[in-house]
């Protein structure tokens, strides 16, 4: 038996004996008595959110490898984790150290989420990937399929899912107190990065500490610019997923989970200021229409960004914050000014002043990353595992396709195509640059 198989079986057996499990909504993480019980982590992307993700990996296991295309970031992280081996290319890291790694964190720009995660999962590694799960709808579907095929533990990094208030809000909505929910309105203060601008006419010299070809990864080649790296990449179509990709896996999470908002019938977008094949719009309004879902009635979901907002009267006197969600039901509304859905108020307030919360039906979380560790050790799946997270991501990213298509789209989720606009199917995926694949 290989060392890798021995480690994996030992960790799972330790879990069965009580190393990590859920009891009554609580997680018991007993003291690990053997080095084999600690997960060996590798982190792909260690700047920005990757800094905290790699810190979580080091806290809950052995961080044995770190990878980034930026040598300065890599050196800074190496000073914190001197035992971790350094890499610029995750393909080399997974090939060289694959038999030693148990789990990976992937915290790169959006366009590299799926290639890095899928390579890791195909090698049997548990996978924690930042939101949005992928750059494209096709990649989101693949992430779910590969994770299930290789039977690995997974989690997307939308940390609001682990908040008690979020789970309570889901329970309240599912209790039926709002009656039939027929509308959802979601707005955000994004975008806050470059948007509606064209490609710079000339590139800039690549800084010596940046491995630009590795940053590009599967995306088409273009010359380096500080308009792309280190921060503005999210606004560019080749690398990011815009305002929707940045925030919807947080702000749409609560009601997507509570009301089974997967596989919309149609998606339509209004936008202002988009530069086709370059940058996302300055502002959008996107409308999703969902059909009957079991006992749940059809629902219209509207997304607003770039200063667009829903009618203020929907909040029944509550102050409209810079971002938020309001659900419209036959018996009342639910408003949350919190990006994660962890704070909410039922409206009108007078009607619900004596409201009693429903009995708890969802387990309470020991912590977002802790859920992933428990799952890796054979415990319950994390709530935002790829079976859920990929469907949430598909729903949200269909909005980006509608932005680019410029027309109302009718979606067939089984065939994974638009029945009325075959020309828009090209926006569901991309051609990968040579040397990069799923």
**Whole-angstrom Cα distance, residue 226 to residue 205?**
10
The predicted model scores a pTM of 0.93
C-alpha closest to that of 188 among 352, 318, 41, 321 = 321
pLDDT for residue 7 = 58
Assigned CATH class of 3-161+367-385: alpha beta
pLDDT for residue 195 = 83
Beta strands 39-44 and 345-347, pairing class: unpaired
**Whole-angstrom Cα distance, residue 173 to residue 175?**
5
Residue count of the chain, please give it: 438
| 144 phi-psi bin (left φ>0, alpha ψ -120 to 50, beta other) | alpha
User: Residue 415 carries which DSSP code?
Assistant: T
What is the CATH number assigned to the segment(s) 164-195+226-363+392-428?
3.30.360.10
pLDDT along the chain (438 residues), means of 10: 54 45 44 67 96 98 98 97 98 97 98 98 98 98 98 98 98 98 98 89 96 98 96 96 97 98 98 94 98 98 97 97 97 96 97 96 97 97 98 98 97 98 98 95
**Whole-angstrom Cα distance, residue 106 to residue 66?**
10
CB 78 within 8 A of CB 67: no
Q: Which helix (H) or strand (E) holds 418?
A: strand 417-418
CB 244 within 8 A of CB 286: yes
Between 49-60 and 71-80, two packed helices, what is the crossing angle to 10 degrees? 30
* Residue reference for tokens 């052995």: 62
Grouping H, G, I as helix, E, B as strand and the rest as coil, residue 387 is helix
**Whole-angstrom Cα distance, residue 332 to residue 180?**
9
Q: Please calculate the CA angle 161-372-53 and round it to the nearest 5 degrees.
A: 85
Grouping H, G, I as helix, E, B as strand and the rest as coil, residue 354 is coil
**Per-domain residue ranges of the chain:** 3-161+367-385, 164-195+226-363+392-428
| Exposed / middle / buried, residue 311 (Cβ in 10 Å: 0-12, 13-18, 19+) | exposed
| 3-161+367-385 and 164-195+226-363+392-428 share one fold | no
pLDDT for residue 27 = 46
Strand partners, 411: 418
What are the φ and ψ backbone dihedral angles of 164, each rounded to 5 degrees?
-60, -40
């Amino acid at each position: 038996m290989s060392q890798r198989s021995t480690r994996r079986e030992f960790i799972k057996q330790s879990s069965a004996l009580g190393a990590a499990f859920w009891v009554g909504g609580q997680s018991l993480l007993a003291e690990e008595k053997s080095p084999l019980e600690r997960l060996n982590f590798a982190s792909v992307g260690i700047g920005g959110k990757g800094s905290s993700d790699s810190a979580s990996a080091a806290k809950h296991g052995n961080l044995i490898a770190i990878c980034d295309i930026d040598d300065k970031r890599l050196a800074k992280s190496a000073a914190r984790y001197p035992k971790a081996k350094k890499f610029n290319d995750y393909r080399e890291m997974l090939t060289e150290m694959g038999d030693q790694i148990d789990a990976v964190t992937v915290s790169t720009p959006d366009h590299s989420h799926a290639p890095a995660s899928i390579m890791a999962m195909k090698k049997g590694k548990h996978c924690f990937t930042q939101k949005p799960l992928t750059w494209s709808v096709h990649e989101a579907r693949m992430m779910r399929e590969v994770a299930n095929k290789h039977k690995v533990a997974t989690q997307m990094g939308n940390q609001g899912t682990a908040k008690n208030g979020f789970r309570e809000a889901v329970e309240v909505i599912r209790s039926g107190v709002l009656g039939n929910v027929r509308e959802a309105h979601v707005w955000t203060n994004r975008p806050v990065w470059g948007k509606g601008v064209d490609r710079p006419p000339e590139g800039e010299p690549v800084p010596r500490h940046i491995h630009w070809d590795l940053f590009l990864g599967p995306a088409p080649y273009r010359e380096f610019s500080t308009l792309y790296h280190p921060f503005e990449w999210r606004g560019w179509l080749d690398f990011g997923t815009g305002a929707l990709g940045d925030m919807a896996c947080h702000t749409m999470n609560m009601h997507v989970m509570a009301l089974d908002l997967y596989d919309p019938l149609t998606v339509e977008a209004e936008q202002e200021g988009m530069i086709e094949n370059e940058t996302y719009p300055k502002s959008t309004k996107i409308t999703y229409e969902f059909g009957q879902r079991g006992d749940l009635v059809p629902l219209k979901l509207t997304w607003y960004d770039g200063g667009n907002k829903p009618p203020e009267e929907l909040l029944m006197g509550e102050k409209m914050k810079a971002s938020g969600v309001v659900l419209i039901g036959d018996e009342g509304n639910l408003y949350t000014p919190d990006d994660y859905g962890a704070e909410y108020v039922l409206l009108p307030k007078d009607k619900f002043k004596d409201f009693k919360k429903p009995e708890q039906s969802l387990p309470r979380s020991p912590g977002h990353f802790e859920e992933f560790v428990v799952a890796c050790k054979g415990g319950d799946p994390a709530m935002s595992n790829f079976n859920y997270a990929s469907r949430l991501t598909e729903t949200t990213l269909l909005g980006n396709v509608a932005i680019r298509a410029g027309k109302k789209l009718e979606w067939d989720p089984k065939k994974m195509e638009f029945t009325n606009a075959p020309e828009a199917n090209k926006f569901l995926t991309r051609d990968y640059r040579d040397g990069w694949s799923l």
